[in-house]
Structure formats: structure tokens, C-alpha cells
Amino acid sequence: MIQHIHILGPSRSGTTTLGKKISNKYNLHHFDSDNYFWLPTDPPYRKIRPREKRQELLYNDINDVGSWIISGSFCGWGDIFIQYFDLVIYLWVPLKIRIERLKKRELKEFGNDILPGDVMYKKYYDTDMKNKKTHEIWMSKLECPILRIEGDYQLEESVKLVDKKINEIEEQVKIKSDTNSKIYDYAPT
């Protein structure tokens, strides 16, 4: 059974939203990488937590639960968790859509700091293609199955794609398990 999932993608691609939905559906504990990467500040996302401390906090949290899903990107600092993944989901949504999401969701929270040309806007979006390349390189290190959901999908469509992938993986594990048990159960007459 799939017990450890990581969902990554660029800012505002929907990793947290999908993570929460999948968490509820499959009874997985949900953790968001931003809660480990950033120290609590007002406004948020201003001060980075030291690498070793975020690794320690996340390690302790996932070890306190049996099954989990982690949303958000933690390329580099989260490499120590790669060995635990049963499935990685990569979300990518076109930049134009993510900018619209940003305007709708965060203009209210951050005010003018998030508008084009301002500090936080540049922080999120000036390195868009660099982030995609970073994610591709990071995913090339993975040995677990990867589901890529690239495009403007509605949440329920993405959930169906995840369900299908999980079913495929679990069926493969079952077939492998059945094959192995037949080998060991065979006794010549």
C-alpha cells in the first residue's frame, strides 16, 4: 500500500491543495514543506529556518505517524527523505494561471508587496524556468514511481489521475507478491 507520498511543483501549482485532498481521501497525515522551510514571521515567508533544524523537525513529524503526504518543494534540503517515498507527484501549471491564482489568493494577505515588480512577486516568479529545471534534475534521482500532472487540471481531475496511479502501483505490488508467493509455495510431487 502507498504510505509515503511527496507532491512538488512550482509556487501556486496546487501542491498543498492536492496534498490536503489526497491526505483526506487516503487517510494520510499531511505536512507542508513551507512549515519547515520558513520560520513563523508576520508577514510570512521572510526568514528561512536553518537546514538541519527543518530536516530534524520534519523527520520527527513523519516518524510520529505511519503514513503521510508532504506537499511543496524541498529539493536539496529534503534529499534525506527520498528513500521513504512510495510515489512522487509533480504538478506544473502554466505561469499565467499561477499568476492569476497568486493575485486572487495573496493580494488580500500581502497587499501590494505581491504585485508585479514588487519584492515577493520577484521572489516567486522571476526564476520560473530555473525552478522547473531544478525539479527535473531532482526527480531524476528518484527510484520511486513519478506521476507528472502538467497543465491546467481541475482538482477532481488531478485526484482521479492520482487514484489511477496509486491503483496501478498497488496492482503491480500485488502481482509481484503473488508471483513470489507462488514460487515459495511450490512443492514438487
CATH number of the domain where residue 158 is located? 3.40.50.300
Domain that holds residue 64: 4-95+138-185
Within a domain: 126: no
* Residues forming a β-bridge with 117: none
Within a domain: 144: yes
Within a domain: 42: yes
Domain count, the chain: 1
What number of residues does the chain have?
A: 189
Of 101, 102, 98, which Cα lies nearest the Cα of 111?
102
Alpha-carbon distance of 61 to 69, in angstroms, equals 11
pLDDT at 29 over 80: yes
pLDDT digits (tens, 9 = 90+) for 70-95: 999 888 888 999 999 999 999 998 88
Question: Residues with Cβ < 8 Å from 158, sequence gap 6 or more?
Answer: 14, 18, 91, 149
Q: What is the pLDDT of residue 112?
A: 60
pLDDT at 140 over 80: yes
pTM here is 0.81
Within a domain: 50: yes
Tell me if residue 134 falls in helix, strand or coil: helix
Contact 127, 11 (CB under 8 A): no
pLDDT at 49 over 60: yes
Contact 92, 134 (CB under 8 A): no
Question: How far, CA to CA in Å, does 49 sit from each of 12, 57, 125, 135, 163?
Answer: 21, 10, 21, 21, 34
Within a domain: 121: no
What is the average pLDDT value for the chain, to the nearest integer? 83
Q: What is the pLDDT of residue 189?
A: 42
pLDDT at 184 over 70: no
pLDDT at 28 over 90: yes
Residue range 153-160: mean pLDDT, rounded: 96
Residue 186: pLDDT band with limits 50, 70, 90: very low
Q: What is the pLDDT of residue 69?
A: 97
